[in-house]
Structure 1
């Protein structure tokens, strides 16, 4: 039987070693690691249970299949309880052994891929891999490291595009929940009438279109982390229901009658000034304090300019890994002078654009967006010399206006009301001027 199995598996394309008994198997397993071991249960000197124990101790990823007579299948079942993958009863059919071996090796490969994926995810979102060496970012890393393994809720604040979700993932994957689900939801992107069902699930027939029972994201994230992005957009009624969940650690599906306990860590993020939202009655104070146990403030890119070269290099490797990172001096000066209203997200888009347009020439000024060149010149300070061919006065003045607005927002920490006072204009006027440059109420040129 041993010779027959060896010949058959060779013909199937496998590399096969064969030995006479359990003792010889253990000696061979000490010298070499195998993907699969097929062993009889009844053998002299050392039986199949002894071989199985050695494999589990020395190479737990190796798959073990037991061979047994029909009369001793109870022993084979016991071996499976101890860690064997499957068993085959004698006599067996060739197709049966082929299928079991194929399935066993596929399962081993899948398990290996899953372990690799989890390892890569952990490395990708390790707090050390958040790009930046500036003092504000080092402070963020330290805080992420301190809070990752705790169970407290975290509120991440910062302008749009500063990497709030990346920080949330870093917290999750560096915590004891790292091998459990990380479930993100944008609270401002889902209609109010669907948000409750999305978060808490619903029962069949609870409303028109509810044709079957559905799990909510709290259930999906059970044991892991729920990331509530744009928490400042949460409607008033949902704020009440979320507060109750945070207090009781229980949810109830829409249309349901029973509460269900959930173990979910909440990480929330916003680009709004939630304290101002609370003062104006737009956000519940009690919910704010529930979410704001630990707060991580992400700096805008214009306050961490020394990180710009590192980020450019990182995005170049992402979008053009085979290309050498070569940045022209004038292009780098423009990138460093630019105000970056879209923060890291905008920088990534610019680098991606340049990898397409530069055609292997690195990053040069002619691949930068036109508005960046205009704003970069204005933002560098001093008067622009009038070019020989003249200039577009309206565009030039608009660039100056935009630059001044952004500098005012930077000085006031992104609070538009204070920026308006600094520029001696009305709040309505600054809203209009920012909207003119594409920064609406939901966009973030520097906060709310």
Structure 2
């Protein structure tokens, strides 16, 4: 990349300009020269330089004025000042005004090579960070949350309002509905966007390690704690801590977590000092925390701390009108160089399928089809075997009585019958029954307990 990096040397001493031009040209840089700040301003009006190496004291226009002119232009040009020992204070002032560094004359060749190399690497990192930030901004922009259905449009408006605040948010919805995507959108559209987004699955960490993961530990706090470790709270300082499957938090941890939220302080395992924290909490669950509170599995006070704003993500079955939009988005993302169209028969099969795995399952199915089908028209030959199985009937032949009915009691009786049939078919093995019904084991257990089965 050196041959593409342009350096402008600005100095009123011809011998210094010539010396730097020869040395930097040998290093592979493209070098241009200016005899004073006024001459340099004429050049920067026509060319954007990667780096400007400028003396401070010059006739017509000095180095500080040139630096101000560069900053006014709004380019990401890096500026390094050169100064005699007697003007070091001016060089420090230049750094306060945005110069990257300064060199004191006379300087060694190795010194100037190193400073320039570091400055250009720093500039490259800034550009890369800016590019990645733009990618994140685009990836988690509100228009990337796909859905034209009424329920999704209402949800997007609420998410947009929530993002500009710092209140805790609870996101509920079945597995695969996009809870983490929503959490990231909230973070990257908030004033905390420049700070970390830290995600943790509360059900994936063993209970004996969870406290250390969340709050950190001091050296020697327990066997194997060979050094001090920052917890996720400290790692997310100033940003957002996303707690996925928060309903899986063990009871003892719920108490400690509640204290952290109330006091805005944590204490590392084995530590004696309280550490102040500034972290926004976004939690997600695929179970009913209200029912968990009623059943004594989740603390009521913690529930209300987390549930300041509640966002419920509908299942894909509740927003089938969004399936064509989602399919197009997945095709554009997964096969950007192919012009994919979806056969009518395939789209109908996608619309008829119940999607127990929700949007995540749809994405996986489309990716499978894109891999297995070579043409640009997807016909469904790459669909998983389960799509050949009998799907739910569109109508159960039910006729609403003239006098109406108790809907909750009726739906409960249907759910009871389906659950009992699933258990009978699986010889009472609940894990197999859960797989048969495309629900989690925990969800099945909750439903059975609710119905007294």
- TM interval, short-chain normalised: 0.7 to 0.9
Distance 1:66 1:375 in 2: 75
> How many positions carry a matched residue from both structures?
416
SS at match of 1:255: coil
Is there any run of 5+ residues in structure 1 with no aligned partner, and where?
384-410
For each residue in 1:133-178, what CA deviation from the matched residue of structure 2 results, as whole angstroms up to 9, or x when unmatched?
A: 1111111110001110111110000000000000000101111001
Aligned pair 1:425/2:440, yes or no? no
Partner of 1:175: 190
Aligned pair 1:268/2:260, yes or no? no
How many angstroms does 1:446 deviate by?
A: 11
SS at match of 2:417: coil
Partner of 2:32: 17
How many angstroms does 1:361 deviate by?
A: 4.0
Q: Please say if residues 159 and 445 of structure 1, whose CA atoms lie closer than 8 Å, have aligned partners that are also in contact.
A: no
Partner of 1:119: 134
Instruction: Map 1:321-400 to 2 at 5 A.
Output: 321-376=336-391, 379=393
Distance 1:141 1:445 in 2: 32
SS at match of 1:178: coil
Q: Please say if residues 230 and 270 of structure 1, whose CA atoms lie closer than 8 Å, have aligned partners that are also in contact.
A: yes
Higher relative contact order (CA 8 A, sep 6+): 1
Partner of 1:395: none
How many angstroms does 1:296 deviate by?
A: 0.5
User: Could you tell me which of 94, 106, 112 is aligned with 1:97?
Assistant: 112
Distance 2:204 2:324 in 1: 33
Aligned pair 1:166/2:174, yes or no? no
SS at match of 2:375: coil
User: Could you tell me which of 300, 306, 317 is aligned with 1:285?
Assistant: 300
Distance 1:446 1:178 in 2: 37
For each residue in 1:94-121, what CA deviation from the matched residue of structure 2 results, as whole angstroms up to 9, or x when unmatched?
A: 3332222222111111101101211211
Change in Cα spacing, 1:425 to 1:380, as seen in structure 2 (3 Å) is closer
Distance 2:332 2:166 in 1: 35
Q: Please say if residues 274 and 288 of structure 1, whose CA atoms lie closer than 8 Å, have aligned partners that are also in contact.
A: yes
RMSD: 2.5
Partner of 2:79: 64
Change in Cα spacing, 1:116 to 1:350, as seen in structure 2 (3 Å) is same
Aligned pair 1:108/2:123, yes or no? yes
Partner of 2:166: 151
Distance 1:11 1:360 in 2: 53
Distance 2:446 2:159 in 1: 23
SS at match of 1:56: helix
Change in Cα spacing, 1:447 to 1:77, as seen in structure 2 (3 Å) is farther
Is there any run of 5+ residues in structure 2 with no aligned partner, and where?
1-15, 398-406, 424-429, 449-453
Partner of 1:222: 237
Partner of 1:408: none
Distance 1:328 1:246 in 2: 51
Distance 1:435 1:123 in 2: 37
Instruction: Map 1:281-320 to 2 at 5 A.
Output: 281-320=296-335
SS at match of 1:31: coil
How many angstroms does 1:6 deviate by?
A: 2.3
How many angstroms does 1:67 deviate by?
A: 1.3
For each residue in 1:25-55, what CA deviation from the matched residue of structure 2 results, as whole angstroms up to 9, or x when unmatched?
A: 1232233322211111121122111111221
Distance 1:265 1:105 in 2: 36
Distance 1:175 1:331 in 2: 39
How many angstroms does 1:230 deviate by?
A: 0.3
Q: Please say if residues 122 and 178 of structure 1, whose CA atoms lie closer than 8 Å, have aligned partners that are also in contact.
A: no
Q: Please say if residues 334 and 373 of structure 1, whose CA atoms lie closer than 8 Å, have aligned partners that are also in contact.
A: no
For each residue in 1:376-416, what CA deviation from the matched residue of structure 2 results, as whole angstroms up to 9, or x when unmatched?
A: 4x545699xxxxxxxxxxxxxxxxxxxxxxxxxxx98xxxx
Stretch moving more, 422-431 or 14-23: 422-431
Change in Cα spacing, 1:45 to 1:195, as seen in structure 2 (3 Å) is same
Q: Please say if residues 200 and 242 of structure 2, whose CA atoms lie closer than 8 Å, have aligned partners that are also in contact.
A: yes
Q: Please say if residues 48 and 75 of structure 2, whose CA atoms lie closer than 8 Å, have aligned partners that are also in contact.
A: no
Aligned pair 1:441/2:441, yes or no? yes
Distance 1:315 1:203 in 2: 45
Partner of 1:132: 147
